[in-house]
A and B are shown apart, each in its own frame.
Chain A
Amino acid sequence: DGGITQSPKYLFRKEGQNVTLSCEQNLNHDAMYWYRQDPGQGLRLIYYSQIVNDFQKGDIAEGYSVSREKKESFPLTVTSAQKNPTAFYLCASQGTSGSRGKDEQFFGPGTRLTVL
C-alpha cells in the first residue's frame, strides 16, 4: 500500500476557513487526481493533473483549488466557497505503460474532512 500518502487522516474545519489536504507520491507518476467520496455516490473527480505545472477541472471543481509545482505533490485546498465540504477525499496517481497507455490509478488512504 505504499507509494502514495495523504495527510492528515482526519481533519476538522470551522465554517468559513480554507483548509489544504496533502497528497504525495513516490511512484514517479505523471498524472494525479483528487476525488470526493460521499455515501452512495461513488467517486467524483474534483481536479486532475497530467503533468507538472498543469491541471484541469473535473466534474465538481467549484469551491476547490489545486497546485502542481512538483511531480510528487498535488495539494488540494478546500475553500470557504465549497458549500458542503464534509466528505472523504481520495488522491490518486497514475503511470503510463508504453504502448498500453495509461494504467491503473493508485489511491492514497484518504482524508476525512468534517466541517463543524
Chain B
Amino acid sequence: GENVEQHPSTLSVQEGDSAVIKCTYSDSASNYFPWYKQELGKRPQLIIDIRSNVGEKKDQRIAVTLNKTAKHFSLHITETQPEDSAVYFCAASDSWGKFQFGAGTQVVVTP
C-alpha cells in the first residue's frame, strides 16, 4: 500500500520568511496530493491540492510542487504570518480516493 513520509516534523520560521515542507510517496498510482492545515483543536482544512498531470500550483502565498519521477511533493509558504502557525499534513491518493496522510509538520511562526 501507499506510504507517505513528511519532513520536517517541526519547523520554526521568522515572520516574513518562507517555509517549505516536503513529502515523499511510494505508490506510483497515486494521482492526487492535497495539503491540509489543522489549527489546534480544530478540523483539518484543505489549503491547496495538486493532481499528477500538473507540476506546480500556486494560490497567493502558498504553492505546491510535484515531481512524479522522484515521487515527492512540497508545500511552500512565502511571507509567513503568525496565523500560518498550525500543523500541516500532506496526503497521497489514488483514483479510489483513499488517502494516506503524512505524520504532520508543526509550523511555528515567530514575530
Say yes or no: is B73 at the interface (Cβ < 8 Å to chain A): no
Check A90–B9 contact: CB distance below 8 A: no
Check A40–B104 contact: CB distance below 8 A: yes
Say yes or no: is A98 at the interface (Cβ < 8 Å to chain B): no
Check B98–A107 contact: CB distance below 8 A: no
Name which of B11-19, B38-46, B60-68 contacts chain A.
B38-46
Q: What residue of chain B has the Cβ atom nearest to residue A112's Cβ?
A: B41
Which of B26-41 touch A at CB < 8 Å? 31-32, 34, 36
Check B51–A100 contact: CB distance below 8 A: yes
Query: How many A residues have CB within 8 A of the partner chain?
Result: 25
Q: What residue of chain B has the Cβ atom nearest to residue A35's Cβ?
A: B101
Say yes or no: is A43 at the interface (Cβ < 8 Å to chain B): yes
Say yes or no: is B25 at the interface (Cβ < 8 Å to chain A): no
Check A102–B43 contact: CB distance below 8 A: no
A interface: dominant SS:
strand
Q: Which of B45, B49, B101 contacts A42 (CB 8 A)?
A: B101
Check A43–B9 contact: CB distance below 8 A: no
With a cutoff of 8 Å between Cβ atoms, the chain A residues found around residue B95 in the complex are: 101-102
Say yes or no: is A86 at the interface (Cβ < 8 Å to chain B): no
Q: What residue of chain B has the Cβ atom nearest to residue A96's Cβ?
A: B97
> Chain A, 72-116, contact with B by CB distance < 8 Å: what is the 0/1 string?
000000000000000000100010100011101111111000000
Say yes or no: is A41 at the interface (Cβ < 8 Å to chain B): yes
Say yes or no: is A19 at the interface (Cβ < 8 Å to chain B): no
Say yes or no: is A31 at the interface (Cβ < 8 Å to chain B): yes
Check A101–B32 contact: CB distance below 8 A: yes
B63 to chain A: closest CB distance in Å? 17
* A interface list, Cβ under 8 A from B: 1, 31, 33, 35, 40-45, 48, 50, 90, 94, 96, 100-102, 104-110
* B interface list, Cβ under 8 A from A: 6, 9, 31-32, 34, 36, 42-46, 49, 51, 89, 93, 95-104
Which 4 A-B residue pairs are closest in the complex by CB-CB distance?
A102-B97, A107-B43, A42-B103, A43-B101
